[in-house]
Chains A and B, each alone.
Chain A
Amino acid sequence: MTQFFVVLGVGMCVLVLLCLYRATYGPNVLNRAAGLSAIGTKTLIILLLMGVIYDRVDMFIDISMVYALLNFIGTVVLAKYLERTGEA
């Protein structure tokens, strides 16, 4: 079962690298923000998978909860900032 989680985590890392393309070369700031939000969502699952692999889920669950919270707030703040300044 651990091998399954390791393989799944490696696959998630490949997906994060693919999203990093959009976050790096996105045509404007909004595309980069969308890419960053997608990366944060995948990182949440990678953190939990690391917790399961190392058998310390009770430690990693708090970190991933904070990560989900800050990812949401960061995206909303970035959207509000772009809305105020009005430059895409």
Chain B
Amino acid sequence: MTRDSHDVIVKTLARLLMPFMVVFALYVVMHGHHSPGGGFQGGVILAAGFVLLVISHGLEQTRKRMSEKVAEIISSIGVLIYGGIGVLCLILGGNYLDYGTLSKLLRVTPAEARSLGILGVEIGVALAVMAVMCTVFFAIFTAGESSQDDRSVK
């Protein structure tokens, strides 16, 4: 009955807050070496932005931007980035996730290559965490609807 109630105050604040939230999440991902944060925390903040979007604008509006299928693809891409960088280090003759060997490929000093490698892994982790959190939230949010529909059919 009250499912389609759209609250104009929460809606306006979500519209106002969403860009700042995404920028802050990117800051947390990028700035993970110097301050608390990293891939996991940045991904959680990105997913919190989508949760706020679902709460304020409804599920249909959110599905236009991030559906379950897109979330699955993005989570696979995130894991692929993480594992791909690790295997790339193996191919270049180091250990798994040994970023120093990436310096041959990137043409920079090994220290800079370590920093860039960690950044790439963090981006992969952030994408995977965001997509999986969105999948979990969609599953929880739509569970009540389907069971209610089943009940009404029976």
- The answer to whether A and B belong to the same complex is yes
A residues apposed to B, CB below 8 Å? 58-59, 62-63, 65-66, 69-70, 73, 76-77, 80, 83-86
Binding site of A, secondary structure by majority: helix, strand, loop or mixed?
A: helix
The DSSP consensus for interface residues of chain B is: helix
B52: contacting residue among A66, A73, A83, A86, CB under 8 A: A73
The answer to whether A76 touches B55 (Cβ under 8 A) is: yes
CB distance from B5 to the nearest CB of A (A): 7
Residues of A within 8 A of B5 (CB): 83
- Judged by a CB distance under 8 angstroms, whether B2 is at the interface is yes
> A83-B2, A84-B2, A86-B2 known; A62 and B144 CB under 8 Å?
no
Q: Is B3 an interface residue (CB 8 A)?
A: yes
A-B contact pairs, 22 of them (CB 8 A): A58-B35, A59-B35, A59-B36, A62-B28, A62-B35, A62-B37, A63-B36, A66-B41, A69-B21, A73-B48, A73-B51, A73-B55, A76-B10, A76-B55, A77-B55, A80-B55, A83-B2, A84-B2, A84-B144, A85-B144, A86-B1, A86-B2
* Complex contacts, B55 vs chain A, CB 8 Å: 73, 76-77, 80
- Could you list which residues of chain B lie within 8 angstroms of chain A, going by C-beta atoms? 1-3, 5, 10, 21, 24, 28, 35-37, 41, 45, 48, 51-52, 55, 144
In the bound complex, residues from chain A placing their C-beta under 8 Å from that of B2 are 83-84, 86
Known: A84-B144, A86-B2. A69 touches B45 (CB 8 A): yes
B45 touching A77, Cβ below 8 Å: no
With both chains docked as a complex, state the minimum distance between the C-beta of B45 and any C-beta of chain A, in angstroms: 7
Q: Roughly how many angstroms separate A40 CA and B35 CA in the complex, as a whole number?
A: 22
How far does the alpha carbon of A73 sit from the alpha carbon of B5 in the complex, in Å? 18
Please name the residue on chain A nearest to B42 by beta carbon: A66
A84 vs B148: C-alpha distance in the bound complex, in angstroms?
12
A76, B35: Cβ atoms closer than 8 Å: no
Interfacial chain B residues near A86, Cβ < 8 Å = 1-2
A residues in contact with B51, CB < 8 Å: 73, 77
Chain B contacts for A84, CB-based, 8 A: 2-3, 144
Q: A59-B35, A63-B36, A73-B52 are in contact. List 4 more A-B contacts (CB 8 A).
A: A62-B28, A73-B48, A83-B2, A84-B3
